[in-house]
């Protein structure tokens, strides 16, 4: 796949924004894509659409969806994670009344290759031996979308396999969005970016706030002299500030999910080659030798570098542009989420012809 580099830099202007600050981020979106945002908001007064988010695991699909909602209005957009939805039925099936309601719904909607009784049993036992058919997933997603009402829907986690692509192409008919456009959003993130996001990820053991030692530092950093290791302290205002820890397995990076990433990549290739469907191509990285032409410096993901000052017994923190090699070995800089969302907004306006 050859994803073009999207230019967000505005020539002749040097205005800067702190993209981690909510207020400045809104000003940034208005500055970079104000006209397109105005068109989208006007369009959404009477129209909606369905978007399928396709990308490898940990590519930021939820983050991009949330920022898009920030821009156009949280009341206009819903993010539907099919994986989260399927896991939520664990609790539904434990409640007899809710289980009965679900079975009644599926008796009306489910048409598939396996008996419904077997599927319900497999879901209750969380069996991995039985692969839930696409027809069942479609029915459950339809139920959730009906509950959401007529809004823009970002569908994350479907299709999950090549044979499900044809289902999703006609999905808007199944959920009665007959006049809604459906658009595939393909997200290209280098494997090395995903690997380091996982490897350096930290969570607070108390409030579960997530940060990244290398890419998303907290305000407070400490150094353990005995272990010769730097640690982040949780800076969630509602938390007591304990030392953040590595989630079990994260130190392995992408190795536990390598097969999943390869499968996701094959699915993106399949959709990328398909004709007759609307596609938005989002690229997370820019070759380092081109970055100054396409993006502003504050749009580049910073890498945090730590040095312990023995004299003052203090951790010094510096930033530099984060460099990684993309999947063909080109040294690249990773983008912060907002410029990727700017690309999404501008391409979306073109695809919707507004």
Beta strands in the chain, from DSSP E residues, in sequence order: 50-55, 77-81, 152-156, 182-188, 201-203, 210-212, 220-224, 229-233, 278-283, 285-287, 302-309, 314-321, 323-325, 331-334
What domains can be seen in the chain, in order of their start residue? 22-76+151-352 (3.40.50)
Query: Mind listing the pLDDT tens digit of every residue in the chain (354 residues)?
Result: 779 999 999 987 789 999 989 999 999 999 999 999 999 999 999 999 989 999 998 899 989 999 999 999 999 999 999 888 988 888 899 999 999 999 999 999 898 889 999 999 888 887 667 778 888 888 888 888 888 888 999 999 877 776 676 666 666 665 665 578 889 999 999 999 999 999 999 999 999 999 999 999 998 999 999 999 999 999 999 999 999 999 999 999 999 999 999 989 998 998 899 888 899 999 999 999 999 999 999 999 999 999 999 999 999 999 999 999 999 999 999 999 999 999 999 999 999 999
Beta strands in 135-219, from DSSP E residues, in sequence order: 152-156, 182-188, 201-203, 210-212
Residue 133: closest CA among 169, 100, 106: 106
């Amino acid at each position: 796949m050859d994803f073009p580099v999207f230019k967000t830099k505005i020539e002749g202007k040097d205005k800067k924004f702190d993209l981690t600050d909510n207020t400045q981020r809104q000003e940034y979106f208005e500055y970079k894509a104000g006209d397109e945002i105005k068109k989208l908001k006007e369009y959404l007064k009477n129209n909606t659409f369905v978007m399928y988010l396709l990308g490898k695991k940990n590519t930021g699909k939820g983050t991009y969806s949330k920022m898009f909602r920030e821009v156009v209005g949280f009341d206009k957009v819903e993010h539907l994670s099919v994986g989260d939805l399927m896991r939520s039925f664990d609790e539904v099936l434990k409640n007899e009344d809710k289980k009965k309601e679900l079975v009644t719904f599926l008796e009306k909607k489910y048409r598939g290759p396996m008996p419904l009784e077997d599927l319900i049993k497999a879901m209750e036992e969380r069996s991995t031996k039985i692969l839930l058919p696409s027809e069942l997933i479609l029915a459950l997603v339809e139920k959730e979308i009906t509950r959401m009402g007529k809004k823009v829907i970002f569908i994350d986690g479907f299709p999950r396999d090549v044979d499900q692509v044809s289902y999703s192409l006609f999905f808007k008919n199944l959920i009665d969005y007959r006049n809604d456009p459906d658009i595939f959003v393909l997200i290209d993130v280098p494997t090395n970016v995903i690997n380091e996001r996982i490897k350096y990820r930290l969570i607070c053991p108390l409030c579960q706030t997530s940060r990244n030692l290398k890419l998303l530092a907290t305000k407070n950093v400490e150094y353990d002299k005995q272990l010769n290791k730097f640690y982040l302290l949780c800076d969630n205002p509602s938390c007591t500030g304990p030392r953040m820890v590595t989630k079990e397995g994260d130190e392995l990076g992408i190795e536990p999910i390598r097969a999943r990433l390869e499968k996701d990549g094959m699915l993106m290739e399949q959709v990328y080659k398909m004709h007759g469907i609307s596609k938005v191509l989002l690229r997370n990285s820019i070759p380092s030798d081109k970055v100054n032409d396409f993006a502003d410096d504050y749009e580049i993901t910073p890498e945090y570098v730590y040095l312990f000052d023995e004299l003052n017994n203090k951790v010094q923190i510096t930033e530099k542009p984060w460099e990684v090699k993309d999947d063909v070995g080109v040294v690249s800089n990773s983008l912060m989420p907002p410029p990727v969302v700017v690309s999404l907004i501008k391409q979306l306006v073109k695809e919707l012809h507004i």
